[in-house]
Structure 1
Amino acid sequence: MILRSHKALVQAGFVLICSLSLTSCFDGDGSINIGQIVPGAQSGVSIAIDKIQNVSRGSWVVDAGGKVYVTSSVVRVDGHCTRGVGSVTVAVDGVVAAETAVCGVDGGFVWNKVFSSVTPALGTQYVLEVRGMKSDGSAISGVTATETVVIDTNAPTAPVLNAVAGCSLSLGVWICNSAHVQISGSWSGVEDVSSLQFPAGGTVAYPTATTFTYDFDLTEGQTRNLDFTVKDRAGNTSGSSLLSVSYSPTTSALASSVNAGGTVGFAGGPVNTAASMIGSVGSVSGRSLDLNSALPANQRVQLQIGPIAVGAQQLNP
């Protein structure tokens, strides 16, 4: 469209306004050209997701594929939109949810949805496609933002403590003959375990397998109570696996020429552990063997004396 006689329009009192929707507006030889507006054009209109569960993008817990892990069935999405976007709808796995949001005057929006345990099920991933809408409720073509969210509210199973090397279990306590202790354990390979913590408040490891070992040292007579937990990617923490470990070295004793029975040796373990007899003698009558008086309480031994067939005597500390 060409408007001529610019001066005549001005003299007649007309005011010409060039808006941003015009493709050109200039006054060269006394005429003004106004470019035609293309219907449906959405230049500069956009929408974006900034936060999920009120956590900024850079702090999201994601897997290698970029899926965002959350621990609540109530999902909140914050974002921003430019002028031209009146409202926001979200398609969950391609189905538009009933919940909507308004693009505010500050250019922000907040969308909330409660995912029930039935529709859809918890523990799976959901593709959220945020769509920009015009003020009349019609969709703005190409104005979308998409993220995949995994809702996980279930804690993983506690790790299994398989063995304590060189130690024997007695009355709920692992009794060790060495100051150096190694605990081995494992967890289920089908659970999304991302870290192992041992003991509570202690070291956090990020394993690449489903098994682990934990090495440490005890002083003589020391007992430690340990617990182990695992955490999944979403941040759910398992229950604790507990054990107690004590360092009580084995004490051995040797007696010679008991009566006429020759040389006999006795080996004993810590209190509350089974003693072993490494020799036998025909008779110990009239003999008194005190092997505990000079030993610390945690090293006192229990001995079995005499042929088992005859009937062993057990001397306890």
Structure 2
Amino acid sequence: MRLILWTSAAALGIAAALWAVTVPAPLADAAALPRGDAEAGARVFAAAGCASCHVAPDTEEDGPPVLSGGEAFETAFGTFYAPNISPDAAAGIGDWTDAQIVNAVMHGVSPAGAHYFPSLPYTAYVKARPDDMADMVAYLRTLPASDVPSQPHDLAFPFNQRWLMGFWKPLFLRDYWVVPDSVADDDTLRRGRYLVEALGHCGECHTPRNALGGLRVDAWLTGAENPSGEGRIPGITPAQLDWSAGDIRAYLSSGLTPDYDSAGGSMVAVIDKLAQLPEDDIDAIVAYLKALPEAGQP
């Protein structure tokens, strides 16, 4: 009997410890968000590239984007599908509060208190300013609603266990800048850092990952294997990309390379969204990229 009691107590203690470690931790200040501005939010939405993933595949954009989801992302862990984030109350996020949306985007926590998988790049968005997120939410609420249901992810065990993100997040969900203030030492560079590291989440594709799927910030923006297994995503530090500032600016604005080739793959959608940003933002991104150390993290 004593053995049974001790075993039960130990099991309960382990279960309580696991719950404490893996329980999602929402943003403490999300409930105190300022009132968002939809016009400013359109710029944040473009910089964050939301439509690139959440507009249905093969949709011809004509007018405001319909964020019905459905885009598939193949990875070593399985296939993730972008969900419906339109203002539809049933299929989308129309009945979520502003705080719930910001918690999802910045910390990967659902309204029900479950972890989201990092296919939603909250490891980048955690660095975003809450006022920008509030503006983006205000813009999202102006977009057309869609009643298309979100597709479930196709993940094998154990990668389909959301509670495991409770162990993953402390390792890889960090709100520090990869490039510190000593390198990003003026307003232009800090704006570029904000656009590249936070809103633009460029590291999600251009930085290699470890076996757990976390970004290797010691090799920041030095290139990575394509998650789909097709080809390689290029590095964009000065060591891998010897283009001039003007060349990079032209590419980000038009999609044309210095040798008159054009952007392909997912960069087509990225450049389409960057073209909606003011020239000062493009200049800031270029300045940040040119200021990077030649081999990853400073």
Say whether the fold is shared (TM-score over 0.5).
no
Quick check: which one's strand share is greater?
1
For the pair shown, the structure with the greater C-alpha radius of gyration is 1
TM-score, structure 1 as length reference: 0.17
